[in-house]
Amino acid sequence: MREIVHIQAGQCGNQIGTKFWEVISDEHGIDPAGNYVGDSILQLERINVYYNEASSQKYVPRAVLVDLEPGTMDSVRSGPFGQLFRPDNLIFGQTGAGNNWAKGHYTEGAELVDSVLDVVRKECEHCDCLQGFQLTHSLGG
């Protein structure tokens, strides 16, 4: 199978990414708990591109969620599909960058880079044939 690792970064990226997972889960017949509840065998076709099958008919997104502050992750977790994501794949700082590029690049962001790369590496290692990465993020900061 040709798997895709989805990486969503920052408030905007996580908001867009969360909506993406809601839509694709609906298309594949996946409920907010990760269970297959669809009514067509076609919904399971190519489901392994974006999901790992954790157990029989239970699916987990192949996603890495990143932000410099915990507020965005709290919103994701409390949202309708918040329990769908693997908790180890939510990486966040405690202070945020406050729309300061240098702070995000040199201090808070730099502290998270190794953790993010480690989680991305683990997701890639679980793939049979990694096709690529899909990123959602803002353009402005």
Instruction: For residue 125, give the CATH number of its domain.
Output: 3.40.50.1440
Q: For residue 51, what are the contacts with CB-CB under 8 A and spacing of at least 6?
A: 28, 30, 59, 60, 61, 62
Question: Residue 141 falls within a domain, yes or no?
Answer: no
Q: Over pLDDT 70: what percentage of the chain?
A: 99
Residue 118 has pLDDT above 90, yes or no: yes
Whole-Å CA distances, 61 to 17, 35, 95, 102: 11, 12, 27, 32
Q: What is the pLDDT of residues 15-42, one digit of tens each?
A: 999 999 999 999 999 999 999 999 999 9
Residue 87 has pLDDT above 80, yes or no: yes
Question: Residue 110 falls within a domain, yes or no?
Answer: yes
Question: Residue 50 falls within a domain, yes or no?
Answer: yes
Q: What is the pLDDT of residue 95?
A: 81
Confidence of residue 141 (pLDDT cuts 50, 70, 90): low
CA 26/CA 14 separation, integer angstroms: 18
Domain that holds residue 40: 2-136
Q: What is the pLDDT of residue 10?
A: 93
Confidence of residue 98 (pLDDT cuts 50, 70, 90): confident
Question: Residue 85 falls within a domain, yes or no?
Answer: yes
Q: What is the pLDDT of residue 140?
A: 78
> Would the pTM count as exceeding 0.85?
yes
Stretch 107-127: mean pLDDT: 93
How many domains are there within the chain?
1
CA 104/CA 21 separation, integer angstroms: 26
Would you say 21 and 84 are in contact if contact means Cβ atoms under 8 Å apart?
Answer: yes
Q: What is the pLDDT of residue 56?
A: 77
Q: What is the pLDDT of residue 99?
A: 74
